[in-house]
């Protein structure tokens, strides 16, 4: 019997693409959605069990756990994908705006993780957090969203450090821009507000194009999730972008932060020492991601419900 994977926010975009890919490859999936219509749509996919769950609700998350327990097959993986976008200048946004986004993008991931972590510890399984290039990049237009994804990055690293030893691998998938309903859902969720940007002003106009059709479908992100869930040597971060420019912009920002930290440091490193540091970190990263016999995860299949790997 195969231990299933749980994917939150499966009604559209990256979550739907991930569930579809997993189902196509014979993985059994619990897919959370928030409407009966979405549940019905997902139930048509082989091996997919839709579960109604708003990740802001403790009661919903408790019911999700009951559904997993009722199956009796434990859990191999969790993809914390449910999330919302937010556009607007920070000075024009309230603490409630921040709470609303954090309640889904950060606390939602924490709520679901805590509800199932014992099952993942039992299986020695995987946690995949759906971050974003906004977990590295910050912009004037997307402060709250960037804050939430930076928080999810720190959450991922802290959880990785905590769960590494008992054998659960935690990673972040870091997408750039892909097709999804994130813009449509933002405009539906957040009442019309005056524009901090042209995009925001236009977004509420009748007939506004919120389709994100200029970006590719989220298949590459789903593929990264599959690798993170099932490869014997999963990575810590998967930067998945539609083009080289988005990847480079993200890496440039990460490099800039390194240089900013060093520039006014009380004990700065020379240019040469920074190069040597990168070499040292490359070695360390390979050791962490390819731990060999000591830490390699065996796989998601079990002989009987509840049995350990
Ligand atoms: N698309 C991109 O370019 C991109 C880039 C970087 C990161 N991401 C991240 O990818 C994830 C998925 O976003 P997406 O772009 O695929 O957007 P999407 O099409 O809007 O999908 C978001 C999913 O999250 C669900 N969701 C929203 N609020 C929820 C809540 N309170 N409880 C449970 N589920 C909730 C939505 O369900 P409903 O349909 O019920 O609202 C939907 O299934 C997000 O974490 C997002 O930040 C996306």
Rounded distance from Cα 178 to ligand 1 centre (Å): 11
Q: Mutate which of 37, 83, 142 to test ligand 1's pocket (most atoms within 8 Å of Cβ)? A: 83
d(CA 132, CA 86) in angstroms, rounded, equals: 13
Confidence of residue 290 (pLDDT cuts 50, 70, 90): confident
Would you identify the CATH topology of the domain 5-294? Rossmann fold (3.40.50)
Three-point CA angle 256, 171, 120, nearest 5°: 160
In the chain, count H helices and then E strands: 11, 7
Bridging pattern class, strands 237-240 and 169-175: parallel
Contact (Cβ atoms closer than 8 angstroms) between residue 172 and residue 106 = no
**Atom of ligand 1 minimally distant from the CA of 176:** 5
Structural domain boundaries in the chain: 5-294
Closest protein CA for atom 7 of ligand 1: 132
Closest protein CA for atom 47 of ligand 1: 83
Annotation marks residue 204 as catalytic: no
* H/E element, 171: strand 169-175
Given this model, what pLDDT does residue 59 score? 98
Read off the pLDDT of residues 128-177 as tens digits, 9 standing for 90 and up.
999 999 999 999 999 999 999 999 999 999 999 999 999 999 999 999 99
Among candidates 53, 64, 57, which has minimal Cα distance to 10?
53
Confidence of residue 301 (pLDDT cuts 50, 70, 90): low
d(CA 8, CA 16) in angstroms, rounded, equals: 9
Which pTM value belongs to this model?
0.95
């Amino acid at each position: 019997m195969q231990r299933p994977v749980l994917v939150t926010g499966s009604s559209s975009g990256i979550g739907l693409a991930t569930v579809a890919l997993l189902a196509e490859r014979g993985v059994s999936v619990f897919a959370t959605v928030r409407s009966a219509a979405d549940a019905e749509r997902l139930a048509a996919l082989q091996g997919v069990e839709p579960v109604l769950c708003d990740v802001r609700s403790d009661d919903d998350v408790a019911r999700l756990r009951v559904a997993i327990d009722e199956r009796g097959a434990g859990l191999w993986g969790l993809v914390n994908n449910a999330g919302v976008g937010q556009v607007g200048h920070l000075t024009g946004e309230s603490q409630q705006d921040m709470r609303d986004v954090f309640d889904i993008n950060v606390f939602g991931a924490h709520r679901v993780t805590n509800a199932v972590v014992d099952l993942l510890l039992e299986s020695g399984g995987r946690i995949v957090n759906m971050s974003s290039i906004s977990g590295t990049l910050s912009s004037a237009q997307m402060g709250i969203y960037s804050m939430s994804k930076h928080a999810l990055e720190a959450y991922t690293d802290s959880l990785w450090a905590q769960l590494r030893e008992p054998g659960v691998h935690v990673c972040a998938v870091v997408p750039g821009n892909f097709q999804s309903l994130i813009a449509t859902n933002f405009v539906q969720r957040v009442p019309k507000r005056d524009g901090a940007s042209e995009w925001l002003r236009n977004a509420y106009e009748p007939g506004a194009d919120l389709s994100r059709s200029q970006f590719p479908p989220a298949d590459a992100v789903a593929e990264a999730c599959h690798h993170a869930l099932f490869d014997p040597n999963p990575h810590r971060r998967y930067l998945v972008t539609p083009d080289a420019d988005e990847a480079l912009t993200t890496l440039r920002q990460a490099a800039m932060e390194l240089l900013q930290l060093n520039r006014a440091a009380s004990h700065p490193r020379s240019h040469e020492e920074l190069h040597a540091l990168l070499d040292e970190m490359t070695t360390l990263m390979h050791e962490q991601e390819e731990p060999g016999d000591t830490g390699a995860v065996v796989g998601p299949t079990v002989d009987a419900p509840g049995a350990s790997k």
